[in-house]
Amino acid sequence: MFISRIRLKNFRNYDDLDIKLNDRLNIFVGNNAQGKTNILESIYLSGFGKSFRTNKDRDIIKMDKDMAYIKIEGQKRYGDISIEMRFWKNRKKEIKVNSLSLIKLSDILGNLNIVIFSPEDLKLIKEGPSERRKFVDREICQINKRYCHSLISYNRVLYQRNNLLKKIKYDRKLINTIDIWNEELVKFGTEVILKRREFINRISSLSRLMHRKITDGKENLEVKYLSNIGIKNKDGFNEIYKNFIEKIEKNIEKDIDRGFTGVGPHKDDLGLYVNNIDIRNFGSQGQQRTVALSLKLSELEIGKAEIGEYPILLLDDVMSELDINRQKFLMKSLKNVQTFITITEIPEIMIPLVQEGFIFEISKGKVKKR
């Protein structure tokens, strides 16, 4: 899939932008604070319905204006696609896919598949488990809507069960009502675990290959699913369900005491090891960045396998953080992927690699094709 045109009105620092794009490579060059990332943000918004930089929709509306407009046109394997979004200061945003209004925001997922890699992605490695869960969930949701529903249901039941736990502490007889919540929690939770395990197994073997290539065979990356339920690779729905419910029942007094549920996929983590060393705590900055890159490139392959075509890749400010060999490897491995790159300057060494693409110069919210 690829995007052929972007139109922006009153979006961030753009008044009115209309650009046609290259179906392979698009590079946005410019000094800091000129509007490079803003363009990537508009693409991301069209894929996910929300931004990677803010939860507040009104932030993206140009200062002193009342409405922002984004239109993305592109092509997928089975035909054209257009996504239009309107954001208002005091109203809910409106989204249209191929001119039809969406009723639920989550219905936007799966129309434009996007993989983004930015310096922020180091968080995925360095910060707590919730960043890694977010990564896994976002990726699976893009390719599997049912998973998204199971996850939303799981979180809803978890919230309700936690509320009940707090009440039981002061009114013991309410404990009779917890079984029904346990069963619901474990049912949705098992669905979540099964999908996460499948995804992590796939990303584990793909990212190991990627990582070998990027590091010239020197580093062996292992990605592991860490769950506090204790699941094995051969366990099916019934085994996981049984394990999970046993743990929930065993922990009931602890849960009541603390007022929240201690076991379940909401505590999952991703183990990341390079040559058997836990990279989350002991990796160098460069190693951590390379692991993040390997994970992201694997996402492209998973997207391709699932939907039959490569997702669109957004690379925000990452080129300058990689050494020359890694930059070259990256450019070579992106031959069939529409890629958007932001950069402050194109280094000499990259010029022969970017010749087929479009280069846009960005200054103060104005874009000029070079």
Ligand X SMILES: Nc1ncnc2c1ncn2[C@@H]1O[C@H](COP(=O)(O)OP(=O)(O)OP(=O)(O)O)[C@@H](O)[C@H]1O
* Residues engaged in binding ligand X (CB under 6 A): 12-13, 30, 32-38, 59-63, 317, 342, 344
CB nearer to Mg ion: give 36 or 280.
Answer: 36
Q: How far is the CB of 86 from ligand X (least distance, A)?
A: 15
Residue 12 binding: pick among Mg ion, ligand X, none (C-beta 5-8 Å cut-off by kind): ligand X
Give DSSP secondary structure letters for 98-167.
TTEEPSSGGGGTTTS-EEEE-GGGHHHHHS-HHHHHHHHHHHHHHH-HHHHHHHHHHHHHHHHHHHHHHH
CB nearer to ligand X: give 35 or 357.
Answer: 35
Residue 80 binding: pick among Mg ion, ligand X, none (C-beta 5-8 Å cut-off by kind): none
Residue 142 binding: pick among ligand X, Mg ion, none (C-beta 5-8 Å cut-off by kind): none
Residue whose tokens read 């507040």? 56
Contact 331, 337 (CB under 8 A): no
Q: How far is the CB of 70 from ligand X (least distance, A)?
A: 13
- 364 Cβ neighbours under 8 A, 6+ residues apart: 13, 34, 35
CB nearer to Mg ion: give 280 or 296.
Answer: 296
- 366 Cβ neighbours under 8 A, 6+ residues apart: none
* Residues engaged in binding Mg ion (CB under 5 A): 36-37
Residue 35 is assigned to a ligand binding site: yes
Q: How far is the CB of 135 from ligand X (least distance, A)?
A: 22
Three state DSSP letters for 76-103: ECCEEEEEEEEEECCCCCEEEECCEECC
Residue 34 is assigned to a ligand binding site: yes
Longest alpha-carbon distance in the chain: 73
Q: How far is the CB of 47 from ligand X (least distance, A)?
A: 17
In a 3-state reduction of DSSP, which class is residue 218? coil
Q: How far is the CB of 254 from ligand X (least distance, A)?
A: 46
Residue 277 binding: pick among ligand X, Mg ion, none (C-beta 5-8 Å cut-off by kind): none
CB nearer to ligand X: give 62 or 258.
Answer: 62
Residue whose tokens read 């110069």? 361
- Known binding site for ATP: residues? 30-37
